[in-house]
Amino acid sequence: MSALISLLLVLAPACGALCRPEDKQPWLEQSKLHFARVEKSRQAALMVLQAEPSDATALMSLLESQLLLRQRTEARLSTQKLTRLLSPRDPRYFRVASLLAAHQDYVAAIPLMENVQREFPQSYEVNFNLALAFFDTQAYEKAAETLGPLVRHDPQAEAYNLLAMVEEQRQRYLEAVGAFQKAAELEPRNEDYRFDYGYELLRHQTTDAAIAVFASGVRDFQSSGKLRIGLGCAYYVAGKYEEAAQSILQATTLDPHNRLAYFFLGKVYEKAFALQDAIADKFRAYAQLRPDDPWFYYHYGIILYLRSQADPHPDYEPAKAYLRKAIHLNPGFAEAYLQLGIISQREGQFDWSVGFLSRAVQANPKLATAHYRLGQAYTRLGQGEKGKLEFALFKKLDSESQAEAESRKIIQFLVKGRP
């Protein structure tokens, strides 16, 4: 999906001042300097237009400055002047449309693109960017109508990738999978297209096929942590936990700071028995970097809790410290409250457990295990009626296929790139 950037290339000159890594000034100062230059460019264009109001080049410069400065009304006026001066056959006319679309003014951009399309019905660039504008405005039927002839006449990977996303939105899942596959086949050296294809298969529960696609991606892109995480996620959904852990451990070697990798490692730890020491070592090393990631602290807290169980005199304080750190970073972290409640029960502190578990169900009323544990705590404290209510809620929620919901959440995190 990241290949869909052609429409944004028109912004490259404008954003360059903010994107140069060698510039040592703070970002805010860079931003001020950049917008000062944009304002200077706007003033220069206005001076030219005072002398020659029909100078299209100056109007183009003025329009770009107005869009960058978010002067929407003024930009519309400049657009009207340009479309009166220029013919849809003039390349600058399409550049006007592209500038508007890049700044998300699709209401103004799409009619101009359609004018150009009528003049150049076979143009790949025009049809692709028009379809992209339709997609971004959720006009999926029009996007499909534009892309259909395009991929038949000039089949390119980025067009198939966009068509796949359109078909996904139209709930035509077989067509979406086919289009993602075609994009990956047309550009076999494109990591993103391979990932998108594997993700689409995984999303629609064709897990074995997703594993095959991600595995081929790992072979072809040996330095890709992203594809290894995808493969690990697919293995996890398939219940192959050792394989999942192995793939994600490899991803952390390639990209030691990838938060999603540690999220999945935390998920798989309890079931990947042979690799638990390796996973714990990864968490121990990453903790030294003090990551600003509540999920990391939550999962490390659970790992420390589980490892302490093997001790005849377990010390739960390190686990609790990491769980409290997770809550400090995310005060509404229901799962962390649940785990603190579980540890409190293990320590025999059922009154404390009620407090933590009540916070858990308050933060996430659908967290079934929290209701069950809260029912246990109330029962142990002699509050049987409250306990029965919590057990009833647990039974209702547990029947709603918590495993399927967990798999959907895992897959959703994969495409977001973060938990």
Mind listing the pLDDT tens digit for each residue in 22-44? 444 554 566 677 778 888 888 88
| Residue 405 pLDDT class (50, 70, 90 cuts) | low
Residue 333 within a domain = no
Please measure the distance between the N-terminal and C-terminal CA atoms of the chain and give it in whole angstroms: 19
Domain housing 33: 1-19+28-120
Inside any domain, residue 63: yes
pLDDT of residue 371: 98
The token duo for 402 is 């918590």
Burial of 36 (0-12, 13-18, 19+ CB in 10 A): exposed
pLDDT of residue 417: 64
Question: Residue 95 domain-assigned?
Answer: yes
Q: Is residue 6 part of a domain?
A: yes
Q: State both tokens at 48.
A: 């030219």
Instruction: Please tell me what DSSP assigns to residue 81.
Output: H
pLDDT on residue 6: 40
Mean pLDDT calculated for residue range 229-240: 96
How far apart CA 156 and CA 161 sit, in angstroms, is: 9
Domain presence at residue 377:
no
pLDDT for position 205: 84
Neighbours of 240 (CB within 10 A): 19
Give per-residue pLDDT as tens, 263-315. 999 999 999 999 999 999 999 999 999 899 999 999 999 999 999 998 989 99
Does a structural domain hold residue 104? yes
Task: State the helix-helix crossing angle for 259-268 and 402-416, rounded to 10 degrees.
Answer: 160
pLDDT at 11 over 70: no
Query: Given this model, what pLDDT does residue 20 score?
Result: 37
pLDDT at 387 over 80: yes
Structure tokens at 248: 């994600």
pLDDT above 60 for 3: no
Contact 268, 241 (CB under 8 A): yes
Does a structural domain hold residue 107?
Answer: yes
Of the candidates 148, 154, 89, 165, the residue with the CA atom closest to the CA atom of residue 125 = 154
* Alpha carbon 278 to chain centroid, angstroms: 28
- The count of domains in the chain is 1
- The pLDDT tens digits of the residues spanning 61-72 come to 999 999 999 999
CA separation (Å) from 21 to 8, 15, 26?
20, 12, 11
Query: Rounded to an integer, what distance in angstroms lies between the CA atom of residue 305 and that of residue 118?
Result: 66
* Surface-to-core class of residue 302, CB atoms within 10 Å of its CB (0-12 exposed, 13-18 middle, 19+ buried): buried
User: Could you tell me the CATH number of the domain that includes residue 39?
Assistant: 1.25.40
Residue 351, domain member (yes or no): no
pLDDT of residue 19: 37
Q: What is the mean pLDDT of the chain?
A: 90
CB atoms within 10 A of CB 311: 9
Residue 409 pLDDT greater than 90, yes or no:
no
pLDDT band at 416 (very low <50, low <70, confident <90, very high): low
